[in-house]
Homo-oligomer: A and B are copies of this chain.
Amino acid sequence: MAAWAERLSGVRGVLLDISGVLYDSGTGGGAAIAGSVEAVARLKRSPLKVRFCTNESQKSRRELVGVLQRLGFDISEGEVTAPAPATCQILKERGLRPHLLIHEGVRSEFDDIDMSNPNCVVIADAGEGFSYQNMNRAFQVLMELENPVLISLGKGRYYKETSGLMLDVGGYMKALEYACGIEAEVVGKPSPEFFRSALQAIGVEAHQAIMIGDDIVGDVGGAQQCGMRALQVRTGKFRFQPSRLCPPLHQPCLGRLR
């Protein structure tokens, strides 16, 4: 454990990914990952600042927090950094009126956004909403714009549900990028702005923080590029695979972190 103490020296804050680290989503609200409820409780009893930093875009923060509370987690809405509210801020700042290709569960986050006469497309993990018809409509909106703007809530490749691996928004973002010959703007991990807003919320500098996640690119790579340390759990979507990124600190699961 001495090696761990050294590698974690100076850490004042912890950013926790949610899906694949705290729980696997799925029918009936999903399932907590063994040991994670107690691990979160222990972190919160410690002097460390804790913030939840998620790319979840199928649920509003309220719904997500409700699911986690029912599974026993000590978590509140105000502790969560999520891409939908960050997107709404960008839309307002830039006068963008989105055509939304999103899951119904997250639509309430966009309640006060002007969606008349769209001048951009926002996509999130729409799940079954990624029908050909919906994708084609988003494509047509983009092709009709002189300066097409595509905003993607994260760019994850896939995630793990209790029933198995599921395609995430990233592939669909790539599909629209390719079809329209454009590049999307990603709001969420691994965007540096997103990590910085999470750190700012707990008043911790990047070099004093560690990100814990299951995604080698979105969580580990993104955090490392921001100057943070990163720890990859072997739960959720974790699969053994070669990586050219700086090696993260590996732990089998959040519950085993001492």
Which of A166-174, A224-232, A250-258 has 4 or more CB atoms under 8 Å from chain B?
A166-174
Centre residue among A157, A174, A175 by max chain B CB count within 10 A: A175
Please give, as numbers and ranges, the residues of chain B lying within 8 Å of A127 by CB-CB distance. 132
Question: Does the CB pair A158–B179 fall under 8 Å?
Answer: yes
Task: Give the complex CA separation of A12 and B165 in angstroms.
Answer: 53
10 A-B pairs with least C-beta separation? A171-B175, A171-B179, A130-B132, A174-B178, A175-B175, A174-B174, A157-B179, A128-B132, A171-B178, A136-B167
Alpha-carbon separation in the docked complex, A176 to B143 (Å): 22
| Residue among A128, A131, A174, A177 with max Cβ neighbours from chain B (10 Å) | A174
Are A166's CB and B136's CB within 8 A?
A: yes
For A100-120 the 0/1 string (1 means CB < 8 A from B) is: 000000000000000000000
Chain B proximity of A197: nearest CB distance (Å): 26
Contacts of A139 in B (CB 8 A): 158, 165, 167, 171
Expressed in whole angstroms, the Cα–Cα distance for A143 and B157 within the complex equals: 12
Chain B hits for A133, CB < 8 A? 128
Q: In the bound complex, what is the Cα–Cα distance between A138 and B130 (angstroms)?
A: 15
Considering the complex, give the chain B residue whose CB is closest to the CB of A128: B132
Beta-carbon contact of A130 and B135 below 8 Å: yes
Q: A181 within 8 Å of B by Cβ?
A: yes
Q: Is A76 an interface residue (CB 8 A)?
A: no
Residues of B within 8 A of A35 (CB): none
Shortest Cβ distance from residue A83 to the other chain B in the assembled complex, whole angstroms: 18
